[in-house]
Amino acid sequence: MSDLENMTPDGRTEGSSRMKKLTDSGLVNIDKLRDRRFCIGITGLSQSGKSTFITSLINQLLQHKNAHLPGFLPVLNERLLNVKVHPLEDHTLTPFPYEDAYKKLTSPEPQWPESTKNTSGCLLELRLTRKARKLNPFRREHFSLFLEIRDYPGEWLLDLPLREMSYSRWCAQCSAQYNQRPRSELLGSLLDELKQLDPLAEVDESELERLNKRFIGFLNNCKYNGKSLSLIQPGRFLIPGDVVDPSILCFVPLLKCSSYTEGQLKAASANSYFKVSERRYKRYTKELVEPFYKTFFSRIDRQLILVDVVNALNAGPEYVDDMRQALANITDSFAYGQRNRFFQLFSSKIDKVVFAATKIDQVVSEDHEAVRKLLSLVVSQAYKNAQHEGVKPLFEATAAVRSSKEIEHQGEHGITGVEVGGAAIGYTHPSIPSRIPEGDEWQPFLDWKIPALKPPKGLSYQNADAIPHIRLDTVLNALIGDKCL
């Protein structure tokens, strides 16, 4: 019986003997060599909607016969035959919780998928036909394309730059950030305490634990104060994941380090605040950050970076600048460029980068193109690295789940939906600019209150309904369309 005959109508599966044989025989690497397997790094800052995006991406592919995917050429040309979901061969990863997330979105009272708390992954097998050959237009060759997706907490992403940063340098970076709004306001009295703490003084563990707890509270405020900052470090202070020794997480930035020379800090006693915090910082980067990078990012072939540019615009210039800096720091951690396929088996480089503005169902369709153009300006500093290596980034604007509808009232276009609290709501918004605002141009966006909308009602899990979206098909085509030929 063929693979296609073994597939369920909606493409759901727990795995297959064929996949096991491929893994056991080492042919997975052969698939990569033949350009039949590649890894997509779906990268997103915290609250960019990464888990929801992955859920919708899997759903669109599984339900491709019913989904609206005119911008994805394999569907448009009717060459995508079926899709299967396999677990990844890495047994340290839990399967991506697609079924649970899909059930939440299709329940009578739909809910957003939970944010990622640990690492997970899946492997999608796309069964395709080749284009008809010129010499024999009636012969169609079937082949499988394996698409590897790995998920992780977005908070961990911001730790990648710490791999190349000493503890004293990180303290200096924190000192520069914390003296500026909005962080100075969010820190409150903790700012003075961190400034006054002498790095050379003998450590008081109970005092360090107290400051550490307050520092974690500050990081939570950076994320959940209504306007989320992007550059939040260390990320595992918010979502630890599987940490064997919690003491690794007990350190703080010592803002008074700048009062001492590198020689004085190096000569500090082993039991000083500086040396104790430095040791834990080094363990943090060595035992948590470095393995995470090697496991998840060193093998990425293509990268999708999700950016919630609309909410950053709503938050104000400080938050947009913070997002720009976070994205620049992240892209510094990746290797971009074209590389011979054989050498990609041992040392991958990212050969395609797509930046996608998320949640564009918050604005009317006539402003979607402006959001895309604004995104290109917001991330300009970040993608210079990719351009330098010969990889020209692409830009898109998308909503993985469309939770709103557009209306026209008295000549104005607006948005309607249901708030998380359950109340129906309709609103208009300022016209989205295609450039970053300056001066008084910011005020309309600071006054705009974006409601938190619930997912749309009426989707059926039993009937395997496709999730409504905006332009996710064009994102798919930009990422993998050329691999499907």
- Relative to beta strand 120-129, strand 142-151 is antiparallel
pLDDT attached to residue 126: 96
Query: Per-residue pLDDT tens for 382-409?
Result: 666 555 566 778 899 999 999 999 998 7
Token pair 């090697």: residue: 294
Residues 150-159: what's their mean pLDDT? 84
Instruction: Give the pLDDT band (50/70/90) at residue 328.
Output: confident
The predicted model scores a pTM of 0.85
- Please tell me the predicted confidence (pLDDT) of residue 66: 93
CA–CA gap between residue 253 and residue 238 (Å, rounded): 16
Q: How far apart are alpha carbons 183 and 318 in whole angstroms?
A: 10
Mean pLDDT of 127-146: 75
> Does the pLDDT value for residue 39 go beyond 70?
yes
Between 78 and 30, residue with greater pLDDT: 78
pLDDT, tens digit (0-9, with 9 covering 90-100), for 426-442: 999 999 999 999 999 99
Q: What is the structure's pLDDT at 334?
A: 63
Count the neighbouring beta carbons within 10 Å of the beta carbon of residue 45: 26
| Average pLDDT taken over every residue of the chain | 85
DSSP H/E element including 353? strand 352-357
DSSP 3-state of 351: coil
On the question of pLDDT at 36 being above 70, the answer is yes
Question: Is residue 35's pLDDT more than 80?
Answer: no
* Residue pLDDT, tens place only, 95-115: 999 999 999 999 999 999 988
Three-state secondary structure along 53-83? HHHHHHHHHHCCCCCCCCCCHHHHCCCEEEE
Per-residue model confidence (pLDDT) at position 38: 87
